[in-house]
Amino acid sequence: MPRVTDIFRHPLKSHGREALKEVTLSQGATMPWDRRWAVAHEASKADGNGWASCTNFSRGSKAPLLMAITARLNEADQSLTLSHPNRKDFTFQPDDERQLSGFLAWVKALMPADRAQSARILRLPERGFTDTDFPSISINSHASLRTLSEHMGQPLSPLRWRGNLWIDGLEPWVEHSWLKQRFRIGSVVFEGVEPIVRCLATTANPDTGLRDADTLRSLNALCGHQDFGLYARVIESGTLSLDDPLELL
């Protein structure tokens, strides 16, 4: 039976992932703390009053070195520690504007000089700055990843895909057929909404932040599109943990 192997949240959009063992999800909401904050760049039109598309934010598709960041969130004081192989660890509170300059100085070395630079941090606690205009959870399959890796002749880390949940034990690509399909993991019921159309962020190695795999061309050659994974909605609230089974309803 298919089971959960990994759970990730990304507190600061495109600036690090954090592994979890268990998570409680609410109907119609994103994963708690996932993409709660996002880094708006100099050309951003986002004002912080609601959801905005990813084009308004510093992100791995334009700044691949960001892909090598890992994150650790202290929920008690809402402080975030960012780690990167090329930088010293940095801890700050994203909501404290007095600490913004320290973050901008830390991240500047990871931003291409010819791109709009990071400028401010926005907060969206109710639903997070997901790439979708609805509160989504991303579901990803190890079987699909293995198939793509074999096609490319190189191992691909799950971390390239910035997913929330990873499932093993499925048939390759079957998750793409789950549009409007309901499924249960732990006590949470999901409904598949749309495939995840992938971007250049997935071409970067999550250990180094260097582009080293043409994932998009390979997806198009193998599948005729560049979809990988599934965006889903939470239909019934509940809790799920590592090794919980996935059951189609």
Mean pLDDT score, 96-102: 97
pLDDT of residue 103: 98
Residues 206/215, Cβ–Cβ less than 8 Å = no
Q: What is the dihedral of CA 125, 89, 137, 134, to 10 degrees?
A: 40
Give the per-residue pLDDT at 25.
98
H helices within 123-210, ranges in order? 142-152
User: What is the Cα–Cα distance from 129 to 109, expressed in whole angstroms?
Assistant: 24
CA 138 to chain centroid:
8
Picking from 119, 117, 125, 116, the residue whose alpha carbon sits closest to that of residue 51 is 125
Domain boundaries, the chain: 3-29+132-248, 37-123
What digits encode the pLDDT tens for the residues 173-219? Answer: 999 999 999 999 999 999 999 999 999 999 999 999 999 999 999 99
What mean pLDDT is predicted for residues 46-60? 93
The values of phi and psi at residue 198, to 5°, are -90, 155
Whether 108 and 35 have beta carbons less than 8 Å apart is answered as: no
Confidence class of residue 233 from pLDDT cuts 50, 70 and 90? very high
pLDDT of 48 higher than 90: no
Residues, the chain, total? 249
SS3 of residue 219 by DSSP: helix
Rg (the chain; Cα; Å): 17
pLDDT at residue number 125: 87
Query: CA-to-CA distance for 202 and 213, rounded, in angstroms?
Result: 8
pLDDT tens column, 115-156 = 999 999 999 988 899 999 999 999 999 999 999 999 999 999
Query: What percent of the chain clears pLDDT 70, i.e. is strictly above it?
Result: 100
Q: Which CATH architecture has domain 3-29+132-248?
A: Beta Barrel (2.40)
Residue 224 is given by DSSP the state S
- Burial class (CB within 10 angstroms; exposed 0-12, middle 13-18, buried 19+) of 15: buried
